[in-house]
């Protein structure tokens, strides 16, 4: 059984200058005294009560003097700096306007801030800087760090950046991160963690479709089920830097911080820069590592608690062809199959007949909607569904009333505009007038109609993000303004839910998820592609926050054809929705889609609370994943064939994460019990009642069913006895 770390009250202790922070199965041991800046001696498994052993631990890691090196070898500290002998990437970089770049920030004082947190103040009196590091271990076992830099001098300080340092075990010799592009986010990549720096940056003004949500290090071959791994994430929706570094003279380290563009942060005397939270998670296997993050998100006051509504989004059903009669028919068909939330996508506002015009003109188009949206909203609500609406507030078409009236509201670094993307430009949210306009327009729409949900889109990268010639970049200020706008809208409309969409999955981070209720995982809803996208997005985001929709049979983004069962089964372990013109379904298709919706509703509480598990399989043709109830009483699994296999028939697969001491009755999910689409005899092995122990299913497994590529089956396991 995958080891579960129950949230526990975090605690801390101090003895002989050694601080021990504990919570959720994690220990962080900090040496306050050995080096000029405190050092993390240990980050990983809970060490229990250390007592006098703590000082011995700190002494045991002190490096000896190396041949050809500095007389006093540097330890990896919480803020490594060249002035203390650190010759790798510095934890802080910048310079005074009048000259002076060399920092030697050293410990001023340290005091408790939370039950398992410390506030550590570093001081450089000569350079007139202070840095305050917030360090804490959460009840779910995460290590969180945030750094604030204050200019205590008489002239400006030009800050280039700060990085939070997370030490690694020396045997962490393999890295896992992700890359991708639009329609193929979160593609994993592995490589050896050799000497040097592996740097992942976003300069897109948002994390980007190519961003890695986690940068993870572990011993070669670590997987979901086993192998100690440590990963980091920056809870920030703008530019960022994640890097892994190993040098011959220093311990391996992971760094996380905001990427500041040239001149973006200039601290006047007395001003403070506060970095985003950097999050570290560890586990014996990626399942345990990601489980800590999921548990942390689920423990938040802002986490959605009510059952996740089945959502139909109109985009791939009608695109820009908004017609009341057609949309009303779509809503009625949606309600018939069990949809609970109907979302009107792009095309409802002024001049918006395609994507070349109108963006920014947030008024209902009277030519298309002479009575406003009221007839559609009223019909949707009369059918028992919530109504949702698409916005892309941060963007503007040059062909719009807004751009013609306020060309100065568009981000630019020069007199001319940056290159267009999707025939649009980016609004300057650092301009208070821009935010005031957006806030008034969105608030007016929310006030006029009963809207329960906003799909908040962001469809292009930021290029030359300034306010014109001679101005500094404004990415950071724009992200802060976005957060403030979302926070105010949520306060005024406390029942409103918001989805973060950015060309699909290009803005997925824990900063935006503090203010939104789910992410749109990808614009690609091809279930074959979605299996990988959802798997690696799910390292950070729990399934109830992952938008996962049943697709049309013909996928417009990949030109593949798919089956309803494969599409619905892939969406099963997420926040279920539909991206399909369901008015085109015949009676049999509607009945089967309704059966899948009913099945998901039956199990959605399990999806929203259980532990996500993935099997590490030798056969790349198979994918096995599931959600296991926290008490081990039940589980959902899908077994998918993503390609043809060298084995024929298919070999055994293991079902990880079950309680080894319990026995489970295995049954196909209801839609599969009524038909064996798409292949022959795919459920022959379940023709008699099957009860197997969790230990056997996790170790020996069961024979995979006879699946053809691009198909799957779903299983429901119930503990018996």
Active site members:
457, 523
Tally of helices (H runs) and strands (E runs) in the chain:
13, 39
The DSSP element (H or E) to which 537 belongs, if any, is helix 527-537
Question: What's the rounded Cα separation, in Å, for the pair 637 and 518?
Answer: 22
Contacts of 320 (CB under 8 A, 6+ apart): 346, 347, 352, 353, 354, 355
Note whether 575 and 518 are within 8 A (CB). Answer: yes
Please confirm whether the linkage preceding 123 is cis (ω < 30° from 0). Answer: no
**CA nearest 483: which of 434, 429, 521, 524?**
429
3-state secondary structure 573-608: CCEEEEECCHHHCCHHHHHHHHHHHHHHHHHHHHHH
Q: String of b and e for 531-542 (b: at least 16 CB within 10 Å)?
A: bbbbbbbbbbbb
Tokens of 256: 């996380």
Residue 654 neighbours by CB under 8 Å, 6+ apart: 615, 617, 624, 697, 698, 699, 700, 701
Cα distance between residue 12 and residue 138, in whole Å: 11
CA–CA distances in Å: residue 140 to residues 191, 234, 412: 29, 18, 43
The number of beta carbons lying within 10 Å of the beta carbon of residue 47 is: 16
Tokens of 585: 């379904």
Give the residue among 668, 666, 664, 669 at the shortest CA–CA distance from 719: 664
Strand partners for 505: 502
Of 429, 452, 366, 393, which Cα lies nearest the Cα of 205? 429
Contacts of 125 (CB under 8 A, 6+ apart): none
β-pair partners for 518 = 499
**Cα 214–220–223 angle (5° rounding)?**
55
Give the number of other Cβ atoms within 10 Å of residue 338's Cβ.
19
Distance, CA of 709 to CA of 28 (rounded, Å): 46
């Amino acid at each position: 059984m995958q080891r579960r770390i129950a949230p526990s009250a975090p605690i801390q202790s101090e003895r002989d200058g050694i601080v021990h922070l504990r919570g959720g199965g994690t220990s962080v041991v900090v040496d306050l005294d050995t080096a000029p800046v405190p050092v993390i001696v240990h980050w990983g498994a809970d060490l229990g009560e250390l007592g006098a052993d703590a000082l011995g631990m700190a002494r045991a890691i002190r490096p000896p003097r190396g041949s050809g090196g500095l007389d006093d070898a540097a330890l990896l500290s919480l803020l490594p700096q060249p002035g203390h002998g650190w010759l790798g990437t510095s934890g802080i970089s910048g310079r005074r306007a009048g000259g002076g770049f060399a920092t030697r920030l050293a410990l001023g004082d340290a005091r408790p801030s939370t039950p398992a947190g410390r506030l550590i103040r570093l001081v450089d009196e000569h350079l007139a800087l202070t840095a305050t590091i917030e360090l804490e271990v959460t009840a779910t076992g995460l290590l969180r760090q945030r750094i604030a830099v204050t200019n205590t001098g008489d002239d400006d300080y030009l800050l280039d950046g700060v990085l939070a340092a997370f030490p690694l075990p020396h045997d962490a010799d393999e890295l896992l991160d992700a890359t991708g592009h639009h329609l193929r986010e979160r593609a994993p990549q592995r490589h050896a963690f050799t000497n040097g720096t592996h740097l992942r940056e976003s300069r897109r003004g948002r994390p980007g479709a190519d961003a890695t949500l986690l940068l993870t290090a572990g011993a070669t071959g670590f997987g979901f089920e086993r192998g100690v791994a440590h990963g980091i994430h920056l809870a920030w929706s703008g530019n960022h830097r994640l890097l892994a570094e190993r040098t011959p003279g220093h311990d391996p380290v992971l760094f996380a911080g905001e990427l500041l563009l040239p001149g973006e942060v200039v601290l006047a005397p007395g001003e403070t820069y506060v970095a985003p939270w950097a999050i570290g998670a560890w586990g014996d296997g990626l399942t345990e590592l990601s489980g800590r993050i999921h548990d942390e998100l689920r423990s938040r006051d802002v986490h959605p608690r009510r059952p996740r509504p089945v959502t139909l989004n109109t985009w791939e059903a009608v695109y820009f062809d908004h017609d009341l009669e057609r949309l009303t028919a779509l809503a009625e068909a949606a309600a018939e199959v069990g949809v609970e939330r109907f979302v009107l996508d792009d095309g409802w506002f002024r001049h918006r007949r395609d994507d070349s015009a109108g963006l920014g003109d947030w008024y209902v188009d009277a030519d298309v909607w002479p009575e406003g949206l009221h007839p559609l909203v009223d019909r949707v609500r009369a059918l028992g569904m919530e109504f949702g609406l698409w916005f892309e507030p941060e963007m503007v078409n040059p062909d719009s009333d807004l751009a013609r009236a306020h060309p100065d509201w568009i981000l630019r670094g020069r007199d001319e505009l940056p290159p267009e993307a999707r025939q649009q430009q980016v609004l300057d949210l650092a301009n208070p007038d821009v935010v005031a306009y957006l806030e008034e327009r969105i608030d007016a729409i929310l006030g006029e109609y009963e809207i329960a949900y906003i799909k908040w889109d962001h469809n292009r990268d930021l290029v030359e993000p300034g306010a014109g010639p001679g101005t500094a970049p404004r990415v950071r200020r724009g992200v802060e303004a976005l957060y403030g706008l979302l926070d105010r809208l949520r306060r005024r409309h406390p029942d409103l839910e918001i989805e973060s969409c950015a060309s699909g999955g290009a803005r997925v981070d824990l900063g935006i998820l503090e203010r939104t209720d789910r992410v749109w995982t990808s614009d690609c809803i091809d279930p074959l592609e979605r299996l990988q996208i959802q798997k690696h997005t799910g390292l950070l985001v729990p399934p109830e926050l992952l938008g996962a929709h049943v697709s049309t049979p013909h996928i417009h983004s990949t030109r593949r054809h798919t089956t309803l069962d494969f599409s619905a089964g892939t969406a099963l372990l997420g926040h279920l929705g539909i991206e399909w013109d369901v008015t085109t379904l015949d009676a049999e298709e509607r009945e089967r889609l309704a059966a899948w919706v009913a099945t998901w509703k039956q199990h959605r509480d399990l999806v929203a609370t259980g532990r996500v598990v993935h099997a590490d399989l030798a056969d790349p043709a198979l994918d096995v994943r599931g959600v296991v109830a926290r008490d081990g009483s039940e589980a959902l699994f899908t077994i998918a064939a993503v390609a043809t296999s060298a084995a024929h028939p298919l070999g055994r697969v293991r079902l990880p994460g079950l309680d080894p001491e319990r026995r489970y009755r295995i049954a196909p999910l209801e839609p599969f019990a009524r038909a064996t689409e798409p292949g022959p005899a795919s459920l022959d092995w379940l023709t008699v009642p099957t009860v197997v122990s969790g230990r056997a299913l996790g170790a020996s497994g069961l024979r995979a069913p006879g699946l053809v590529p691009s198909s799957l089956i779903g299983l429901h396991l119930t503990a018996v006895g």
